[in-house]
Structure 1
Amino acid sequence: MKRIFLIAALICSSLIVLQSCSPKTTSGTVAVKRGDVSGNWVLNDITFDGIPEIAVKSFLGESSYKCFVGSTWSLTNSGNGSYSLPSSATCAAKTQSIFWSVSTADETFQFKKLYEGDKAKNVTEGYRLMLSSSDGNSMVIKSPIEYGSKTAYIVMNFTKAAK
């Protein structure tokens, strides 16, 4: 009887070790590539996850997150791009040149603002945002921020612009 118990224990522990060493698979998500993000996008809506809207004073270097609602983003496959903010009661219309990239390793969307005479390789400051999804027609990008003792998100919801 001791032998049977010992053999069963060895088999169970072997299975546990093999299971912990097996490669992990994702839940069916496909890594987003640069081509999935390239194109012209409209930022239709900004929502908040884990933070009240009133707590967000400025966003991506602008005086208000509201400046971005309705903005258009042009993202070329080469990494050059721009976003255009619409004119509103609280924000002036403006177009900002950017250099952007997508990291499939950590599923992020990064961009640097480029001003007259800047070369992207010389600009050291920028924004790293979480690329939640992009299916070619819609895209969700989250900006993580610390709120209290937790991480909260400003969620940007894009749709592909009509050609």
Structure 2
Amino acid sequence: MKRIFLIAALICSSIIVLQSCSPKTTSGAPAVKRSGVTGNWVLNNITFDGIPDIAVKSFLGESSYKCFIGSTWSLTNSGNGSYSLPSSATCAAKTQTIFWSVNAADGTFQFKKLYQGDKAKNVTEGYRLMLAAADDVNMTIKSPIEYGNKTAYIIMNFSKAAK
């Protein structure tokens, strides 16, 4: 009888060990790596999910989300980068230096604006956005905002710029 219990205990222990060593699968945000975001991008358009565009008064510190349409984003592998806003009837041309990163664990793209003399490690404010998709050609970033007691999204659609 002792032998049966010993064998059962060994089998149960083996199963537990094998399950703890098996590969884990995660659901939720796609696993996007920093290398999938690095490069030069053009923000082609901005769409909205759960919020009318007229309700968005300012975006990412600019007076209008429309200022970003047609902007170019340069994201180097070191985390340094910039975006350049084109001149339009309502927005002045502008280039903004940023420090950016990707958190693959939660699928976020984050950046902080750097001004003359700033060091990235000393800047505590920034933007944390959802990296919905990124490949060699397209990238989609969503900015979650509260609207009407629900989470709505401002969706930025990028394409890789020609070299």
TM-score (norm. length: structure 2): 0.84
> Which residue pairs with 1:65 in the alignment?
65
* Gaps in structure 1 of 5+ consecutive residues: 1-20
> Which residue pairs with 1:120 in the alignment?
120
Over the residues paired in the alignment, what is the CA RMSD in angstroms?
2.0
> Which residue pairs with 2:130 in the alignment?
130
Amino acid at match of 2:36: D
Matches of 2:149 and 2:28 in 1, distance apart?
31
Matches of 1:114 and 1:59 in 2, distance apart?
17
Q: Deviations over 1:96-127 (max 9, x none)?
A: 00000000011000000000000000000000
> Which residue pairs with 1:147 in the alignment?
147
Cα 1:30–1:143, aligned 2, differ >3 Å: closer, same or farther? closer
Pair 1:95-2:95 in alignment: yes
> Which residue pairs with 1:6 in the alignment?
none
Cα 1:33–1:63, aligned 2, differ >3 Å: closer, same or farther? same
Identical-pair percentage: 83
> Which residue pairs with 1:40 in the alignment?
40
C-alpha displacement of 1:30: 5.1
Matches of 2:102 and 2:23 in 1, distance apart?
25
C-alpha displacement of 1:23: 7.7
Matches of 1:143 and 1:39 in 2, distance apart?
21
Structure 1 range deviating more: 21-30 or 74-83: 21-30
Pair 1:111-2:74 in alignment: no
Structure 1 residues 48-59: aligned runs within 5 Å: 48-59=48-59
Q: Deviations over 1:36-94 (max 9, x none)?
A: 00000000000000000000000000000000000000000000000000000000000
* Gaps in structure 2 of 5+ consecutive residues: 1-19
Matches of 2:24 and 2:154 in 1, distance apart?
29
Matches of 2:28 and 2:106 in 1, distance apart?
16
Determine if contact 2:29/2:107 at 8 Å carries over to the other structure. Answer: no
Cα 1:23–1:147, aligned 2, differ >3 Å: closer, same or farther? farther
> Which residue pairs with 2:8 in the alignment?
none
Matches of 2:84 and 2:157 in 1, distance apart?
16
Amino acid at match of 2:46: I
Moved over 2 A (4+): 21-30
C-alpha displacement of 1:136: 1.5
